[in-house]
């Protein structure tokens, strides 16, 4: 699977840089990027990560877990580091969930909180993407973006159904019957723990609504980050198109396997901003995406430092054992 991700990432980035764009023009755009905009975008991206951790903290409170924000930031940065450099993207969520489980000794609650946190964030992004895509078609007269609006609308409905299934009491009762079967009976205790953890969110819809609104704040910040980076490289993309396409770009690395989104992100930026949106050239869209990719990698580096710091005490304790 890792080999497949490497092949996809290198294949896509190689195709885009060697056959899709003028590499010299991309290099000039990167060399001439505005450093002030780049630094401001990086700072805001860190802010978006911190706000996302606050959302996670809100969801944990629904389960009666009071976890310091500093701990959640640590788990998140380590997860980002693993997701971007060491393991597939989804593993970043596994790593932060594992850190939380060790910290709280509540494995089921940790797993469900990470799942719900991910789903709430994705649902906020796809909701914004669907609504703004419809605005582009009906409010801006971009009838050529009807296909984008249809895809975003279908994804929105899928997430709506998924949340309904997750919180449905009737479905829970049906699954409990299935775990009465002999070959599933051993998994019944695990399912009961997970189901009980989900129950906290069924009983606290206000927390879900609050988390959804915070996810929209995260989206707003990342929209501004993207706009600053587009301005930094001279892409000249109107802010409204950043608001329309950025929520959709976030799903590309989830749908297509890659190493930290490399290659897949660049293809998505080129497709949405240059080919479909016609807001800039392919060269500038890909340059914009490469700078954004660098921001993503840079923001996850603190996780590597935190991971190494944690490993040192463990190694010392092992070395001191007789």
pLDDT digits (tens, 9 = 90+) for 55-103: 999 999 888 888 999 999 999 999 999 888 776 555 778 888 888 888 8
Interval 98-120 mean pLDDT: 85
pLDDT for 238 equals: 95
68 belongs to a structural domain: yes
What percentage of the chain reaches a pLDDT higher than 70?
93
Full residue range of the structural domain in which residue 43 is found: 2-310
315 belongs to a structural domain: no
318 belongs to a structural domain: no
249 belongs to a structural domain: yes
CA dist 309 and 188 (Å) reads: 38
Place of tokens 């590499």: 23
Domain count, the chain: 1
| pLDDT tops 70 at residue 162 | yes
234 belongs to a structural domain: yes
pLDDT digit string, tens, across residues 16-54? 888 888 889 999 999 999 999 999 999 999 999 999 999
pLDDT digit string, tens, across residues 228-261? 999 999 999 999 999 999 999 988 887 787 777 8
| pLDDT tops 90 at residue 281 | yes
156 belongs to a structural domain: yes
- Whether the CA torsion 179, 177, 160, 276 is positive or negative: it is positive
59 belongs to a structural domain: yes
Which pTM does this prediction carry? Answer: 0.87
pLDDT for 318 equals: 41
CA dist 9 and 184 (Å) reads: 39
102 belongs to a structural domain: yes
C-alpha dist (Å) from residue 308 to 210, 311, 314: 34, 5, 10
Length of the chain: 322
């Amino acid at each position: 699977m890792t080999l497949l991700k490497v092949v996809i990432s290198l294949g896509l980035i190689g195709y885009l840089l060697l056959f899709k764009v003028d590499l010299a023009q991309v290099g000039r755009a990167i060399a001439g990027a505005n450093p002030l905009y780049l630094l401001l975008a990086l700072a805001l991206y860190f802010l978006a990560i911190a706000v996302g951790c606050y959302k996670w903290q809100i969801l944990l409170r629904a389960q009666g877990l009071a976890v310091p924000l500093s701990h959640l930031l640590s788990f998140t940065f380590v997860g980002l580091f693993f997701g971007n450099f060491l393991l597939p993207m989804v593993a970043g969520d596994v790593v932060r969930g594992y850190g939380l489980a060790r910290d709280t000794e509540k494995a089921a609650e940790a797993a469900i909180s990470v799942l719900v946190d991910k789903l709430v964030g994705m649902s906020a992004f796809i909701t914004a993407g669907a609504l703004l895509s419809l605005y582009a078609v009906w409010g801006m007269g971009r009838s050529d973006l009807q296909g984008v609006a249809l895809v975003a609308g279908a994804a929105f409905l899928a997430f709506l159904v998924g949340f309904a299934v997750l919180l449905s009491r009737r479905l829970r009762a049906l699954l409990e019957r299935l775990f009465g079967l002999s070959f599933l009976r051993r998994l019944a205790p695990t399912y009961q723990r997970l189901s009980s953890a989900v129950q906290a969110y069924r009983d606290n819809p206000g927390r879900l609504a609050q988390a959804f609104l915070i996810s929209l704040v995260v989206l707003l910040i990342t929209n501004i980050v993207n706009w600053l980076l587009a301005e930094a490289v001279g892409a000249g993309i109107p802010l409204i198109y950043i608001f329309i396409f950025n929520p959709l770009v976030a799903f590309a690395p989830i749908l297509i396997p890659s190493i930290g989104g490399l290659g897949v992100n660049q293809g998505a930026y080129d497709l949405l901003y240059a080919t479909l949106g016609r807001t800039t050239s392919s060269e500038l869209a890909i340059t914009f995406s490469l700078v954004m990719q660098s921001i993503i990698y840079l923001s996850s580096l603190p996780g590597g430092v935190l991971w190494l710091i944690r490993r040192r005490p463990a190694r010392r304790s092992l070395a001191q054992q007789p």
